[in-house]
A and B are shown apart, each in its own frame.
Chain A
Amino acid sequence: MADWQEDLYQVLKEFEVSQVSYVPDAGHRVLIDRSLADPEMHSVPLTTEEEGIAMLGGAHLGGARGVAAMQSSGIGNCVNMFSLVKNGLFPMLVLVSMRGDFGEGNPWQMPMGQAVEPVMQAMGFVTMRIDRPDEVESAMRAACTMVFKSGQAVGVLLTQKLIGAKAF
């Protein structure tokens, strides 16, 4: 599992991402650990995911690039803050580790997991699902290009086919 997470981090480095915000999740374990150990990266644990959306808006004002990493449930905490992104035409890269998806064993995860894509799309995001480890590098490169070159808001969904379904 760790290999594709390493690929993902390397693409972020290649695109000169310097701020990572997160509420911890197992699906982002390597990203969080790498960012904490990386002297060129600001690694920012949040109290709620919407702080990360505002934070990355501030990063863009200051000419820096960032990524907001969260579990699917976190998207629900961000919805109104996405108004800043849509209204202000801010570039925004959101990495979503999915629960409530393929093979989910915890019913509490299902409502928000199933709502991630329609909610993000309603708020102006392009969403991309990654199901296989060998897709991660090219999909991340595509997403970073759309965000940092074209100024788009993109949600990359790391699905439970990729990260593994939890039975709890």
Chain B
Amino acid sequence: MNEAFRAGIAAEMSPVGTLDRREAVPALVGDPQDWLIVAGLAGTARDTAALCEPEANYFACAGVMGGAVAMGLGLALARPDRSVLVLTGDGELLMNVGSLATVAILNPPNLSIVCVDNGHYGETGYQKSHTSLGVDLAVMASGAGIPAVRSVSGPDEIEVAGRLLREANGVSFVLLKVTPDAGPPAIRRSLDAALAKDRFRAATLPPA
């Protein structure tokens, strides 16, 4: 009954990713010291911590959802001398997909966005997200007006996408299609927001 109204009937429209995020994220980002990084919560908070430690050039929105892109925007506007990378997941970005529109109309040249898309809410039991059910965040990024957009589903596409992130003269967006079968790296460190904030500022702000 009511089959027509159930979520999930379009599942075949979205082939699930096959990349292993533990290899694909580091390959795409390159030297993490080239960036100031804002991460989303859950998976990308761990991807980023594993990538950047022991350096403190990252801040993870480790417990609040939907703010990573906007936070990257504020940081990019504040630090025109540095390249800013937002590394977030499909669930986090879906919560505030309008933020793609906000960054697109400003189009800061030093802001790059990576969405690590495993098509699932990994932290809450791997329920399918909308990107498993037909929603394409790369198309939404293009529709928002972001000028440089690429979707990556195979290892041979990573190098070109990495160059796009580094060389685009405006906001760039890469959708990294990863498998839900391999989770993010395990980390053992505090993601406390106040500690992370003070640590980030001490490590990255120029001396007053």
List the interface of chain A (C-beta within 8 A of B): 18-19, 42, 44-48, 50-64, 66, 80-81, 83-84, 87-90
Q: CB of B146 within 8 A of chain A? A: no
State how many angstroms separate the Cβ of B78 from the closest Cβ of chain A. 3
The CA of A48 and the CA of B74, in the complex, are separated in Å by 15
Q: Is the CB of B74 within 8 A of A45?
A: no
Q: Is the CB of A50 within 8 A of B78?
A: no
The CA of A42 and the CA of B70, in the complex, are separated in Å by 14
With A45-B102, A89-B194 in contact, is A59–B67 under 8 Å at CB? Answer: no
Residue count of chain B within 8 Å CB distance of chain A: 37
Main secondary structure on B side of the interface with A: helix
Contacts of B78 in A (CB 8 A): 18-19, 58-59, 61-64
Q: CB of B193 within 8 A of chain A? A: yes
Complex partner residue of A45 from B36, B71, B105, B197, CB under 8 angstroms: B105
**Can you list 9 A-B contacts (CB < 8 A)?**
A46-B98, A48-B96, A51-B102, A52-B70, A56-B74, A61-B38, A61-B59, A64-B77, A87-B194
Q: CB of B180 within 8 A of chain A? A: no
Contacts of A87 in B (CB 8 A): 63-64, 192-194
Q: Is the CB of B193 within 8 A of A88?
A: yes
Q: Is the CB of B61 within 8 A of A60?
A: no
Q: Is the CB of B98 within 8 A of A51?
A: yes
Contacts of B61 in A (CB 8 A): 54, 84
Instruction: Kindly report which residue of chain A lies nearest to residue B201, judged by CB atoms.
Output: A61
With A64-B77, A88-B196 in contact, is A55–B70 under 8 Å at CB? Answer: yes
The CA of A125 and the CA of B53, in the complex, are separated in Å by 33
With A54-B74, A55-B71 in contact, is A89–B197 under 8 Å at CB? Answer: yes
